[in-house]
């Protein structure tokens, strides 16, 4: 049975079969590379998206690794694009890559969930990013929506976290509110 650790941030999947450990890299062409069990923590150093899959085939692992990599790259490229301190050429390259990645609904949802759940970095410049992305409709639409709605969505997340729904229903009952015993 093969157990697998996958990280899109690191761009690697570590396959563990008993005492044998190997890895597949995002650009390894599907070829396993043997590695030492003691090197595994270093392969994932700094990655916070590591997850485990049990009894996976190499084909399945490669597919999951590619998906994890796409999700991470789309988020990182979006953060580069909205960073007011990044060079214009770097932002333009980010937009080109994002236009392909955000065409996948699940990638767009992943990036949206991350950016709508926390305040944007203080160096964020959505106006400039939206202006640069204008020729790429999917990126421009996403950024415009983010600019228009991000503060309200964060407030909803925070209110839901701080004030459980039953408390809100008691304080501000609506026609569908539930009464607590």
pLDDT digits (tens, 9 = 90+) for 87-121: 999 999 999 999 999 999 999 999 998 988 878 87
Shared-domain flag, residues 38 and 118: no
Q: For residue 54, give the DSSP letter.
A: E
- The C-alpha angle 120, 26, 34, rounded to 5 degrees, equals 130
Residue 151 banded pLDDT, cuts 50, 70, 90:
low
CA 102 from centre of chain: 11
Asked which of 25, 40, 56 is the last residue of a domain, the reply is 56
Shared-domain flag, residues 35 and 68: no
Residue 1's SS3 state is coil
Residue 172 banded pLDDT, cuts 50, 70, 90:
very low
Shared-domain flag, residues 88 and 110: yes
Percent of the chain with pLDDT over 90: 61
Q: What local confidence, expressed as pLDDT, does residue 117 receive?
A: 81
Shared-domain flag, residues 11 and 82: no
Residue 2 banded pLDDT, cuts 50, 70, 90:
confident
Number of domains comprising the chain: 2
Shared-domain flag, residues 47 and 62: no
Shared-domain flag, residues 69 and 52: no
Q: What local confidence, expressed as pLDDT, does residue 81 receive?
A: 95
In a domain, 95, yes or no: yes
Q: What local confidence, expressed as pLDDT, does residue 27 receive?
A: 87
Domain that holds residue 44: 1-56
pTM over the 0.75 mark: yes
Task: Answer yes or no: are the C-beta atoms of 11 and 1 closer than 8 Å.
Answer: no
């Amino acid at each position: 049975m093969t157990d697998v650790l996958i990280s899109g941030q690191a761009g690697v999947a570590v396959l563990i079969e008993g005492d044998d450990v190997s890895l597949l890299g995002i650009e390894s062409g599907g070829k396993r590379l043997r590695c030492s069990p003691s090197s595994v923590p270093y392969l994932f150093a700094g990655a916070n998206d590591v997850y485990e899959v049990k009894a996976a085939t190499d084909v399945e692992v490669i597919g999951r690794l590619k998906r994890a990599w796409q999700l991470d790259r789309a988020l990182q490229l979006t953060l580069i694009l909205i960073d007011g301190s990044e060079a214009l050429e770097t932002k333009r390259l980010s937009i080109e890559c994002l236009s392909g990645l955000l065409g996948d609904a699940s990638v767009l949802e992943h990036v949206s969930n991350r950016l709508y759940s926390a305040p944007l970095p203080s160096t964020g410049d959505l106006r400039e990013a939206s202006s640069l992305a204008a020729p790429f409709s999917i990126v421009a639409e996403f950024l415009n929506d983010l600019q228009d709605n991000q503060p309200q969505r964060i407030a909803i997340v925070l209110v839901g976290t701080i004030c459980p729904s039953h408390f809100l229903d008691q304080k501000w009952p609506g026609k569908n509110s539930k009464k607590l015993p």
